[in-house]
Amino acid sequence: MRDVIAAPVRRSGHLASSRDLDRTTIDDLLPRAGRMATHPGEAAHRLQGKILATLFYEPSTRTRFSFESAMLRLGGQVLSAADAMSESSAAKGETLEDTVRVVAEYVDGIVLRHPEKGAARRAAGASRVPVINAGDGAGEHPTQALLDLFTIQQELGRLDHLRVGLAGDLRHGRTVRSLGLLLAHFPGTELILIAPPELQLEADVRDQLREAGVTLRDEPDLGEAIGELDVLYQTRIQRERFTSPAAYERVRGICVVDPVMMRRLPPGAILMHPLPRLDEIAPAVDADPRAAYFRQARNGLPVRMAILDWLLGPA
């Protein structure tokens, strides 16, 4: 217990990107999160007297609650802006930098969700307290990536030599980028990109991941790829991104995971999804022990506790 509660290895100022998590930090945070999951009471006073602000310019009850619950479970307090875009001075034309600079005077840490790529990094530049990126448009979502990593480790017992299939809408790239950048720290990572051409991963993210050492492979057909995967990571297909209902229906039909498709997933593999899921995973799949997405959601709590403790906790 002592070595878990001891100070983290190093303290980054902010968590704007998966790049802020080096291998040493990951190796420190994952067992901390594990300890938070099994012995939550040990950390019940770690952040006593601290206040976390959640600034959500794009509403998301679930993500917001998981951060806020993590803060409360650590003995801290929370201030919420559930719909900061309509509520705040943003509507009056204030810059994000000005808003963050002032909010940082009232709290000890800021969790930011924002529709614009790069918003978290800009906010970090204006804030005297740690800023945590809870999703910045097509940019990154590093705490989701860390909980994904934690989930894979919990479920499969290892993080190296994994063949991870990413299916669905990869075009906007946030999930792939953030998870890929973390998996790049482990040897033998292979990402199989399973998407129709119009939803495929963009070139700049591919370049980033290849540069980081990840092997990428395109596979338009889920049925072809699924049999060789360790992890099938399904993502949401957003209806509003399609120009015609027919295009949506066609893509949806290709990517859906149902009990028939699950027969092809190897017995030791798992099915993940960041949620919310729509039609991409049939409810009948929920009962399959390889369906890990609700356990994955549960892992959001201890992983975010570990992150908050790392950034806001006593040195």
Which residues of this chain interact with its own copies, rule CB under 8 A?
44, 49, 51, 53, 55, 59-62, 65-66, 68-69, 72-73, 77-84, 86-89, 91-94, 98-99, 101-103, 105-107, 236, 238-239, 275-278, 294, 297-298, 300-301
**Is 52 or 184 the residue whose CB approaches its own copies more closely?**
52
Active-site annotation holder among 32, 35, 50, 141: 141
**Is 8 or 109 the residue whose CB approaches its own copies more closely?**
109
**Is 100 or 191 the residue whose CB approaches its own copies more closely?**
100
**Is 98 or 160 the residue whose CB approaches its own copies more closely?**
98
Q: How crowded is the C-beta side of 13, counted as CA atoms within 13 Å?
A: 9
Active-site annotation holder among 62, 161, 217, 239: 62
Rounded to a whole number of angstroms, the minimum distance from the CB of residue 231 to its own copies is 20
Does the annotation count 101 as an active-site position?
A: no
Does the annotation count 92 as an active-site position?
A: yes
Q: Which region, left, alpha or beta, applies to residue 187 given φ > 0 means left and ψ of -120 to 50 means alpha?
A: beta
Q: Which of 221, 57, 213 is nearest to 137 (CA)?
A: 57
Active-site annotation holder among 2, 92, 128, 243: 92
**CA-CA distance, 65 to 25, in Å (whole number)?**
25
Rounded to a whole number of angstroms, the minimum distance from the CB of residue 264 to its own copies is 24
**Is 67 or 310 the residue whose CB approaches its own copies more closely?**
67
Please, what is the end-to-end C-alpha distance for the chain in angstroms? 17
**Is 9 or 294 the residue whose CB approaches its own copies more closely?**
294
Would you give the DSSP letter of residue 8?
A: P
Does the annotation count 113 as an active-site position?
A: yes
Rounded to a whole number of angstroms, the minimum distance from the CB of residue 19 to its own copies is 27
Active-site annotation holder among 73, 113, 122, 174: 113
Tally: H helices and E strands in the chain:
13, 9
How big is the CA angle at 66 (ends 162 and 125), to the nearest 5 degrees? 85
Q: Which of 315, 274, 298, 312 is nearest to 111 (CA)?
A: 312
Rounded to a whole number of angstroms, the minimum distance from the CB of residue 143 to its own copies is 14
Does the annotation count 141 as an active-site position?
A: yes
Contact 298, 272 (CB under 8 A): no
Rounded to a whole number of angstroms, the minimum distance from the CB of residue 234 to its own copies is 14
Rounded to a whole number of angstroms, the minimum distance from the CB of residue 194 to its own copies is 21
Q: What is the dihedral of CA 220, 225, 231, 236, to 10 degrees?
A: 30
Q: Which of 5, 13, 9, 24 is nearest to 132 (CA)?
A: 13
Active-site annotation holder among 25, 63, 151, 175: 63
Q: What is the dihedral of CA 64, 66, 71, 75, to 10 degrees?
A: 130
Does the annotation count 62 as an active-site position?
A: yes
Active site residues: 62-63, 92, 113, 141
